[in-house]
Amino acid sequence: MNAWLSLTKKEFQLGLPAFLIALILYLGILSGGYFTGNYAGYTEGLLSVALGFVVILHIFFLPFYLYYSLSAERKRLHLWLHTPMSIAGLLSSKVVTGITFMVFTFAVFIIGSTQFFLHTFDFFNQETIFNLLGSITVFVFTLGFFIAALFLFFWSIFLTFSQRMNDFISFILTFILFLFISWIYGSLMDLSFMQTLTNWGSIQVNDIIVGFEFGYVENAFEAQAMSESSIFYIGHFVRDIVVAVIMFIAACWIIEKKVEV
Amino acid sequence: MITLTNVSKRYGTKKALDHVNLELTPGKLIGLVGENGSGKSTTLKLIAGLNHPTNGEVRVNGEKVTRKIADSVSYLSELDEYYRFFTVKRSIEFQSSQFKDFDKEKAYEILKFMKLDPNDKLKHLSKGNRGRLKIVLSLARNVPVILMDEPFSGLDPMVRNSIVKGLISFIDLEKQLVLITTHEIREVENILDEVVAIKAGSIIGHHNVEELREQKQMGIVDWMTEVYE
């Protein structure tokens, strides 16, 4: 455990630039939204869009972070892999670090957004805020984890290819494999058997905000939230988690057995 | 003991090692010598479990080698890649946290011998000093096998000799097997017990250095010149 914690401490230092890059990007988008909105006399509207965009952008933080960290590690595989620690230990250290960075900015932005929406728009009430907060958090983290596991899986394949051919051809081959596996996965999920297997544990959530309408009415800024009810299946989350875990285990196996220094 | 049985290694169509059979016994300092691209680094990576043989089997102390052999093998790479944000001290602390057998006291002792400042950042170290740190990190482990791939390549020729001689005092020659690849053969000649010559992926000679001197009246360089021709 001490070895893993010390490794994770190193990962924080290694991955810090990725976190700072993302932070600068988020702040840039918010500043852009604020100043453009100010210029166009549409501050609240564009700032809302920018805030929403930044929160949703968090879906890609973990894959980006892993890409950054693993690219740095790729240059020194002899250091990274020369350890008795399992590949799962090495990768989980990176995933945990990435999630910690992600939670930090996500919490700041989601709380900031909530406060901003509550104080700016009168159509928000406690229920809509909780629905929005809950559904966005679940959506961002579930999708973020899934894409991160997907990235790890295909990165391990890319790394294996790249030891036998150049990076460009390795990337093309990995991408073709990605399209092929996605097609197989999509076809599999469309089967009525799989639908039956995963469409369980339905949860109906009302007042899910799916968009906003902004406009000027009698020289005054007006905003409307568009909401609808939706049904979510716990089975789908379980399916995504199971698939993500399988991809993580497969990535570990490929790195352990196929990747060389 | 390190055993390579009928080991071959290919990188695509390029043959790096060709049916290599080798047995190295503990308590010795062994030099693996040969020209560039002869298969020296590949041999070390296979023993460290960082490469996989295409054919054959590599064993360390009877255990079939996988990446997990890092538990009993210390490996120093020829590559000059490192974590730039570490200080010398942090490198030692990190290495100590990753390997149970890492002897911190010994590490600081070697560090002193190498005249390195623990507070220096790695990104500010010269190539020679980074090379010294790599030696510190690999020798401070109490493991049965130490593999060193070109450990003296970045070192200043003026100090290389004294560092090579100093190495001996930090190796437990009762228990440890040290396998070194190097081009600086004249500098290490006096400390080696055995020498293995490799050419185009095949072992072309394996000798006890003392016997080579007594029986053939040859130094390693003369012997290498002979077997290479």
Q: How far apart, in whole angstroms, are the C-alpha atoms of residue A98 and residue A112?
A: 21
ipTM associated with this complex: 0.92
pLDDT score for A151: 97
Taking the CA of residue B222 and the nearest CA in chain A, the distance in Å comes to 33
Q: Which residues, in sequence order, are CB contacts of A108 under 8 Å at separation 6+?
A: none
pLDDT score for A207: 61
* E strands in B25-141: 29-33, 55-60, 63-64, 73-76
Q: What is the identity of the amino acid at A176?
A: I
CB of B16 closer than 8 Å to CB of B73 = no
**Kind and range of the H or E run holding B46:** helix B40-48
Partners of B67 on chain A (C-beta within 8 Å) are: 81-82, 256
More confident of the two residues B162 and A215: B162
Nearest to A82 among B48, B83, B85 (CB): B48
CATH of residue B204:
3.40.50.300
Partners of A77 on chain B (C-beta within 8 Å) are: 50
- The DSSP symbol for A36 reads H
What does the pLDDT look like over B122-161, one tens digit per residue?
A: 999 998 999 999 999 999 999 999 999 999 887 888 788 8
Residue ranges per domain, chain A?
2-258
What does the pLDDT look like over A43-76, one tens digit per residue?
A: 888 888 898 899 889 999 999 999 999 999 999 9
H-helix segments, B59-184:
88-98, 104-113, 127-139, 157-169
What does the pLDDT look like over A163-213, one tens digit per residue?
A: 889 999 999 999 999 999 999 999 999 899 888 888 888 887 766 666 666
Nearest to A78 among B66, B71, B77 (CB): B77
* Count of CA atoms in the C-beta half-sphere (13 A) of B163: 26
Nearest CA in chain B to A75: B81
pLDDT score for A206: 67
Is pLDDT at B108 greater than 70 in this prediction? Answer: yes
pLDDT score for A230: 75
Q: How far apart, in whole angstroms, are the C-alpha atoms of residue B103 and residue B96?
A: 7
CB–CB contact B52 A257 (8 Å): yes
User: Whole-angstrom distance between the N-terminal and C-terminal Cα of chain B?
Assistant: 31
Partners of A14 on chain B (C-beta within 8 Å) are: 83, 85
- Looking at the structure of chain B, the number of domains it has is 1
CB of A27 closer than 8 Å to CB of A206 = no
Q: Which pair of tokens denotes residue B144?
A: 């049965």
Q: Which residues, in sequence order, are CB contacts of B114 under 8 Å at separation 6+?
A: B129, B132, B133, B135, B136, B163
H-helix segments, A58-206:
61-74, 77-80, 87-120, 126-162, 167-190, 192-198
Q: How far apart, in whole angstroms, are the C-alpha atoms of residue B207 and residue B229?
A: 17
Q: Which pair of tokens denotes residue B124?
A: 């500010």
Nearest to B85 among A6, A13, A164 (CB): A13
Partners of B51 on chain A (C-beta within 8 Å) are: 260-261
Partners of B70 on chain A (C-beta within 8 Å) are: 82-84
φ and ψ at A222, to 5 degrees?
A: -130, 140
For Cα atoms A123, A129, A132, give the angle at the middle one, nearest 5 degrees: 110
pLDDT score for A120: 78
Q: What is the mean pLDDT of chain B?
A: 92
- Residues from B in contact with A at Cβ < 8 Å: 11-12, 45, 48, 50-52, 66-68, 70-71, 75, 77, 79, 81-83, 85, 93-94, 97-99
User: Does the beta carbon of A204 lie under 8 angstroms from any beta carbon of chain B?
Assistant: no
φ and ψ at B171, to 5 degrees?
A: -110, 135
pLDDT score for B46: 98
CB of A98 closer than 8 Å to CB of A61 = yes
Range of the domain at B98: 2-228
Sign of the alpha-carbon dihedral angle for A65, A256, A75, B109: positive
